[in-house]
Structure 1
Amino acid sequence: MDSIVGISILASVIIIFLILFFTFVPLGLWISAAAAGVKVGILNLIGMRLRRVSPSRIILPLIKSTKAGLQISVNQLEAHYLAGGNVDTVVDALIAAQRADIELLFEKAAAIDLAGRDVLEAVKMSVNPKVIETPNVSAVSKDGIELLVKARVTVRANLERLVGGAGEATVLARVGEGIVTTVGSASAHKEVLENPDLISRVVLSKGLDAGTAFEILSIDIADVDVGRNIGAQLQTLQAEADKNIAQAKAEERRAMAVAREQEMRAAVVEAEAEVPRAMADALRQGKLGIMDYYDMQNVVADTNMRNSISKSDGGSEINSSNDKRDN
């Protein structure tokens, strides 16, 4: 009985050991690598487990690169994996570059991948250039007419400047700036409509791809539309502004005249208020007699009466003329 228990315990220990061994040691990958002619030792696979590296992420791309004839070591792939790179994409990019006869070293491809760019897409763009279409760019010629220009920019990835080079947004911004400058230099918008290739030649000659991750192959004008008459609109706005300024100045002068009139009326009222006081002083000082004062009041009363009579006569004459017209 004791022998049977000991045998079962030994068998359990062996089974557990084999399970842990095959779990910790990727024996299947080692067999696949040996069958493909890739020299990878069991200790290397165990070391990858200890370094928390997925062996399949290293061995499978290594088999692929070896079959493609690339000279890449396990240490290079493992170092790139530990740096946070995509090993499979880098290997695919190197194979694609080799097939397209493009010189691309592993260190350069790894740097492009770690920079956050798709190195495989960059290699494909080097072989098959990409067309970038700009939005409608608004530009105004010297005669004040707005033109809406749309261009297609054919670019090819520059692998040497892919790390640290500017992206598509910079290329589109520079092309738009070149379009605005070229159209703005034209004396009339008809010149641009007659020769749209003028924009392509001028913009392409400026070397807009300097410092970018691309090489501009061509700039083609896809569409040119006539927009607003900016010059006329600006003149209209200027005339409206001049009119508002003139009205404001006239209103200012009118307000000053009204204020001056009010001041003069106040001065007259003030002077009239001094008349009774002056007359009282004259009476007290004996310079004006009481009869003289009454004579003056009679003259004022007579004058007021004559004014009222003249106004009433004028009104009656107007009424009589209206009656005759009605008859």
Structure 2
Amino acid sequence: MDGNILVIVALFASIIVLFIFLYFVPVNLWITAQFASVRVGLLELVGMRIRKVPPSIIVNSLITSTKAGLSLTTNDLETHFLAGGNVPNVIRALISADKANINLSFKQATAIDLAGRDVFEAVQISVNPKVITTPKVAAVAADGIQLIAIARVTVRANIQQLVGGAGEDTILARVGEGIVTSIGSANSHKNVLENPDKISKLVLQRGLDAGTAFEILSIDIADVDVGTNIGAKLQIDQATADLKVAEAKAEERRAMAVAEEQEMRAKAQEARAKVIEAEAQVPQAIAEAFRNGQLGVMDYYRMQNIQADTDMRETISNSGDSSKSGGKSTKK
């Protein structure tokens, strides 16, 4: 009985050892590599396992590159994988570039891949140019009419500028800026509607692809729509603002006039008060003169006669002016 248990334990231990051996020594990959004429040693495969590099990715990529005529080593692929690169994608890009006669080295491909760009897609765009549609770009012509344009930009990837070059967003921004400048320099919006190709010609002359990862092949205006009359709207807004300013100034002048009128009334009231006060002092002065002997009764009478004569003359004068004005009104 004990002997059977030992046999079973030994069997399980053998199976576990076999699995561990097959894990660290992928014999099937080694056999596949040998039949594909790719020289890969078993110790290299064991080293990949220890360095936590999937041997299947390295071996299969190496087989693919060898069959495509590329001269690469397991060390090159393993180094790129450990750096965080996408090894199969780089291999596909190198094969596509080689078939399309595009000068792309393994070093360039790995640099592009590590820079965060899809190197295989870049090669495809270099072979088959890509069309980028810009969003609606609004611009105002010299006559004040707003135009809304949409352009389609055909670009081809520039392999040499993929590392450090600007992307699609920069291309779209520059094209939009060129469209705004072209429409803004037009004397009339009708000229733009009649010849929209002038926009693309002017934009292409600006060299918008400088410093980018793409080469602009063509810029085609897909649509041009008429927007609002910005010039008229600005004039209306300016007129409204001028009206408000004029109303504010008129209100200021009215307030100043009211303040001046109130000030004049206050001064007139003050003058009347002073006159009343002075008139109230006249009897007191006369009484004081009587007491001091400076004014006699005859003098007082003569003063009263003069006052009465003066009042009579003023009454006659006022009645004469009234009759003249009445006569004129009657004559009319």
TM-score normalised per structure 2: 0.83
Which residue in the other structure is 1:112 paired with? 112
Which residue identity does 1:285 align to in structure 2? Answer: A
SS in 1 for 2:210: coil
Q: Map 1:97-176; keep pairs closer than 5 Å.
A: 97-176=97-176
Q: Map 1:24-63; keep pairs closer than 5 Å.
A: 24-63=24-63
* 1:92-151: CA deviation from partner (whole Å, max 9, x where unpaired): 111111111111111111111111111111111011100011122111111111111111
Distance in 2 (CA, whole Å) between partners of 1:77 and 1:269 is 107
Higher mean C-alpha deviation, range 153-162 or range 228-237: 228-237
SS in 2 for 1:116: coil
Are residue 180 (structure 1) and residue 190 (structure 2) matched?
A: no
Shift of 1:11: 4.6
Identity among equivalent positions (%) equals 61
Distance in 1 (CA, whole Å) between partners of 2:263 and 2:255 is 12
Distance in 2 (CA, whole Å) between partners of 1:177 and 1:287 is 99
Which residue in the other structure is 2:20 paired with? 20
Which residue in the other structure is 2:222 paired with? 222
Shift of 1:14: 3.4
Distance in 1 (CA, whole Å) between partners of 2:103 and 2:271 is 106
Q: Map 1:212-251; keep pairs closer than 5 Å.
A: 212-251=212-251
Distance in 2 (CA, whole Å) between partners of 1:287 and 1:76 is 133
Shift of 1:270: 1.6
Shift of 1:4: 6.8
Distance in 2 (CA, whole Å) between partners of 1:9 and 1:131 is 67
Shift of 1:220: 0.7
SS in 2 for 1:160: helix
Distance in 1 (CA, whole Å) between partners of 2:247 and 2:177 is 41
Q: Structure 1 residues 5 and 133 mapped into 2: Cα distance closer, same or farther (>3 Å)?
A: closer
* 1:39-92: CA deviation from partner (whole Å, max 9, x where unpaired): 110100111111111111211111111111111111111011001111011111
Q: If you compute each CA radius of gyration, which structure gives the higher value, 1 or 2?
A: 2
Which residue in the other structure is 2:206 paired with? 206
Distance in 2 (CA, whole Å) between partners of 1:33 and 1:109 is 24
Q: Structure 1 residues 282 and 6 mapped into 2: Cα distance closer, same or farther (>3 Å)?
A: same
Distance in 2 (CA, whole Å) between partners of 1:254 and 1:205 is 60
Shift of 1:5: 6.9
Distance in 1 (CA, whole Å) between partners of 2:14 and 2:150 is 74
Which residue identity does 2:148 align to in structure 1? Answer: L
* 1:15-47: CA deviation from partner (whole Å, max 9, x where unpaired): 332221112221111111111111110100111
Distance in 1 (CA, whole Å) between partners of 2:2 and 2:282 is 157
Which residue identity does 2:89 align to in structure 1? Answer: T
Are residue 285 (structure 1) and residue 285 (structure 2) matched?
A: yes
Are residue 96 (structure 1) and residue 67 (structure 2) matched?
A: no
Root mean square deviation, CA, Å: 2.3
Distance in 2 (CA, whole Å) between partners of 1:90 and 1:115 is 12
SS in 2 for 1:187: coil
Shift of 1:7: 5.9
Structure 1 segments unaligned to the other structure (5+ residues)? 304-327
Distance in 2 (CA, whole Å) between partners of 1:37 and 1:7 is 42
* 1:166-202: CA deviation from partner (whole Å, max 9, x where unpaired): 1111101101111111111111111111111111111
Distance in 2 (CA, whole Å) between partners of 1:232 and 1:282 is 74
Structure 2 segments unaligned to the other structure (5+ residues)? 291-299, 316-332
Which residue in the other structure is 2:76 paired with? 76
SS in 1 for 2:272: helix
SS in 2 for 1:286: helix
Distance in 2 (CA, whole Å) between partners of 1:235 and 1:212 is 41
Higher mean C-alpha deviation, range 68-77 or range 267-276: 267-276
Higher mean C-alpha deviation, range 125-134 or range 23-32: 23-32
